Every structure is written in C-alpha cells, then in structure tokens.
Amino acid sequence: SSILTSKPMTFNRITPTWLHRAQILLRLLFAGMLIYASADKLLNPLEFSHAVSNYQLTGLRLSRWVAISLPYLELLLGLLLLAGVWLDAAGLLNFLLMMLFLTVVSQAYSRGLEINCGCFSVDGNTRIGADDLAINLLLAAGSALLMWLNFRKPSGASDR
C-alpha cells in the first residue's frame, strides 16, 4: 500500500498512541532538565546556598539544608523519569517541585527582589524577571500534564 492510497490521518480524537508518545516526550524533557539543573548546583554548593538564602524565605540553616539536598532531589527525580520507573510517584513529585518553584519565583518577583534565580545555574549575572515567571508557569503546566498522563488509565482497563 502506498501513501497515496492510505487513509488520511485525522486529528478529531487523540489516540492512546499519541498520549503515550506525549508522556514519553514530557518525561524525557523533564528528566533532562532536572539532571541539567542539578549539575551546576552540585558543583557549586556554596554559591547555590547564597542563591537560596537570597529568596529570604528561610533562615541560614534551612537555606543550607535546601541548597545541599535540592540538587540531589533534582538528580534523583531526573534519573527516575529518565529510567521510567516509579512514574506515578516521580510525576507527582515533579509536579509538586514545579509548583514550589513557581511559587518561590513568583513571590520573589512580586516582592521586587533583584536576585539570581538559581534555577539552572548559580551564575550571579541573571536576575528574576517576567520570563522566569513564564518559564515556571509552563513547567508547572507541563508537569501537571505529565502527572495526568502517568495516572490515567488506558481505555478499556479495569479497576482491578
């Protein structure tokens, strides 16, 4: 059968195959992003600790704890998403983390704090702006979609 004689592709419904492909794509994008984001923080923990404390949300001790643990959480979560294991838990944790990032960046922006985001790099030359809000909003929406794709049941599946 040739392309000319085959049925045209219709987009009036989203097939399970497309949903599965979207899930894989989102999973791999978030995995790569989280692993990338963890690298500079792991290599520069002191600078990342300063970036965390600049948000003025926690005391110095808690800022240090967050700065030490968050990069490992991002790395572990990225590896789980990359490997495709524990996807329900990884998707939920990814969503919660993206919502936390959106909240923290939003409050810093609304308070007019001129600080380094610390999102993907501890480079002190970048400042939180409207573009960071837009990126974090897209990440939160994408993580919500990934979580939904992870938790949805394939059509015809039973509740067993």
Domain ranges of the chain: 19-151
pLDDT at residue 152 in the model: 81
Cα separation, 16 vs 8, whole angstroms: 18
Residue 35 has pLDDT above 70, yes or no: yes
The CA-atom distances, in angstroms, between 24 and each of 1, 30, 46, 73, 74 are 30, 10, 35, 21, 18
Residue 158 has pLDDT above 60, yes or no: no
Residue 109 has pLDDT above 50, yes or no: yes
- Contact (Cβ atoms closer than 8 angstroms) between residue 80 and residue 27: no
Residue 7 has pLDDT above 80, yes or no: no
**Mean pLDDT value across the chain:** 87
Residue 4 DSSP SS3: coil
